[in-house]
């Protein structure tokens, strides 16, 4: 008996179930990650202002380093998902192992660079001598955990490609708890000060990496995948990740330029900018969870030679992104009188922040579309286009942002430029998805 074709409503429901199953755990894991820094800050903060200032400098450097290498997760997710779609789990896990070996090599290179240069790097921030000393101590110790951090990124990409976002959630939660306990024990119990906080974080990160390696290695043995480093596979991972590295650096440059411009507008403006940017980043976690689902789902459809399914899934995820952005924007508008006092009681900062927050709220539907399409094209392995599109966006944003102090408009103008930036991203990504050139099927792109 021939089975009746699925109705459009049934297809939408299937896509919805897949998106929710992948996005919700991914969101939990994304939120758990910054809790590491919050726990460190809460524990170190009681040691004194100098130590907390040192932690702020060191953590900024570590966060930047990790964000630069986030392509290890993105590129691995897409490559593994394609092979899953093609039904070749052995090749999928083998590709994941290549990504993990690349993470180890990059992590080792970073450690070799950071250990001798830590004092020089810290001095660039212009912190006081005492704060710089604390920052150097924390940075040198924490650098030892960078290989583990990068392994976590790559292994997370492997599991996402295998359509598993629950394991990363469980590991992230366990890592956060272990980090908090170890920090408290080593900082206060062992009286190691800020060094204890760094060692606690390194141990927690190594534990997380060990769990991921156990899961991936077990899967490799089950499916007969090689655990040995493969030069060609590692080189392919690096080549796939290079465009995403350009994309990430361009985005980081945009955020740095926006902050630098806000700093030149005055103390109230930069304080308000920090509040608005923190909220913007928090909202991004929710939208990025849908993008992560997009990477895994789109890669699987294309690997299964199903471009029609990939296009339908893309459309449904865009709808999810738009509606999610609309809901988040409304929440920002409704709750803005409640959360501003949580950050500061300075009414001048409130006055500056409110118009900027209005722009953030109005721009959330655009952000929702951007995050989803970004994830779709990453899942398709369309990294070179993403790199060029982000470079174009940087080229448009930079002169507009730099004109803000000259033409006036204050922080509201800065965030108008940020909204323009997201609009340009949306247009470039939408054009690409409409063109269909990203619909390259097969186990490899």
pLDDT tens readout for residues 419-428: 999 999 999 9
Cα(291)–Cα(285) distance, integer angstroms: 10
Q: What is the pLDDT of residues 152-161, one digit of tens each?
A: 999 999 999 9
Q: Share the mean pLDDT of the chain.
A: 90
pLDDT value at position 2?
46
pLDDT value at position 5?
60
Burial 295-307 (b: 16+ CB within 10 A, else e): bbbbbbbbbbebb
pLDDT value at position 408?
81
Q: Is the pLDDT of residue 391 over 60?
A: yes
Cα(342)–Cα(127) distance, integer angstroms: 27
pLDDT value at position 343?
67
Q: What is the pLDDT of residues 184-205, one digit of tens each?
A: 999 999 999 999 999 999 999 9
Q: Is the pLDDT of residue 71 over 70?
A: yes
238 or 9, greater pLDDT: 238
Among residues 36, 29, 86, 421, which one has the least CA distance to residue 256? Answer: 421
pLDDT value at position 66?
79
Main-chain phi, psi angles of 164, to 5 degrees:
-120, 105
Q: How confident is the model at residue 407 (pLDDT cuts 50, 70, 90)?
A: confident
417 or 132, greater pLDDT: 417
Most confident of the following: 114-123, 328-337, 367-376, 403-412 = 367-376
pLDDT value at position 321?
95
Q: Is the pLDDT of residue 1 over 50?
A: no
Asked which of 61-65, 84-88, 269-273, 342-346 is least confident by mean pLDDT, the reply is 342-346
Q: What is the pLDDT of residues 291-327, one digit of tens each?
A: 999 999 999 999 999 999 999 999 999 999 999 999 9
Whole-prediction pTM value? 0.89
Burial (CB count <10 Å: 0-12, 13-18, 19+), residue 221? exposed
Looking at residues 411-432, what average pLDDT do you find? 96
> What whole-number percentage of the chain has pLDDT above 90?
66
Q: How confident is the model at residue 45 (pLDDT cuts 50, 70, 90)?
A: confident
30 or 312, greater pLDDT: 312
Looking at residues 11-32, what average pLDDT do you find? 86
């Amino acid at each position: 008996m021939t089975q009746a074709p699925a109705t459009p409503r049934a297809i939408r429901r299937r896509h919805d179930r897949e998106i929710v199953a992948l996005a919700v755990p991914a969101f939990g894991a994304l939120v758990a990650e910054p809790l590491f820094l919050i726990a460190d800050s809460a524990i170190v903060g009681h040691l004194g202002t100098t130590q907390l200032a040192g932690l702020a400098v060191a953590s900024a450097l570590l966060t930047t380093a990790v964000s630069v290498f986030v392509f290890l997760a993105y590129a691995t997710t897409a490559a593994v998902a394609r092979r899953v779609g093609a039904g070749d789990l052995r090749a999928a896990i083998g590709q994941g192992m290549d990504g993990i070996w690349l993470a180890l090599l990059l992590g080792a290179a970073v450690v070799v660079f950071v250990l001798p240069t830590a004092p020089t790097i810290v001095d660039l921030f212009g912190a006081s001598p005492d704060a710089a000393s604390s920052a150097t101590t924390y940075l040198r110790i924490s650098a030892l955990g960078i290989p583990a951090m990068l392994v976590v990124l790559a292994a997370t990409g492997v599991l996402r490609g295998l359509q598993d976002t629950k394991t990363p959630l469980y590991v992230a939660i366990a890592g956060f708890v272990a980090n908090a306990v170890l920090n408290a024990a080593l900082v206060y119990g062992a009286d190691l000060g800020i060094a204890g906080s760094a060692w606690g974080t390194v141990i927690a990160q190594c534990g997380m990496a060990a769990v991921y390696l156990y899961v991936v290695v077990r899967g490799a043995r089950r499916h007969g995948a090689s655990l040995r480093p493969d030069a060609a596979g590692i080189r392919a991972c690096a080549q796939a990740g290079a465009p995403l590295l350009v994309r990430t650096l361009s985005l980081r440059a945009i955020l740095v330029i926006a902050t630098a411009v806000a700093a030149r507008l005055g103390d109230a403006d930069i304080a308000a900018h920090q509040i608005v940017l923190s909220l913007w980043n928090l909202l991004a976690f929710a939208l990025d969870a849908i993008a992560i689902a997009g990477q895994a789902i789109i890669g699987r459809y294309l690997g299964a030679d199903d471009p029609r399914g990939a296009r339908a899934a893309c459309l449904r995820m865009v709808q999810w992104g738009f509606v999610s952005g609309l809901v988040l924007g409304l929440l920002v508008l409704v709750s803005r009188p409640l959360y501003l006092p949580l950050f500061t009681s300075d009414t001048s900062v409130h006055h500056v922040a409110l118009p900027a927050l209005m722009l953030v709220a109005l721009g959330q539907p655009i952000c929702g579309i951007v995050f989803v399409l970004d994830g779709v094209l990453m899942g398709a392995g369309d990294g070179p286009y993403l790199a060029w599109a982000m470079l174009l966006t940087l080229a448009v944003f930079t002169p507009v942002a730099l004109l803000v102090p000259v033409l006036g408009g204050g922080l509201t103008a800065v965030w108008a430029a940020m909204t323009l930036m997201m609009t340009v991203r949306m247009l470039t990504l939408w054009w690409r998805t409409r063109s269909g050139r990203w619909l390259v099927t097969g186990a490899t792109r």
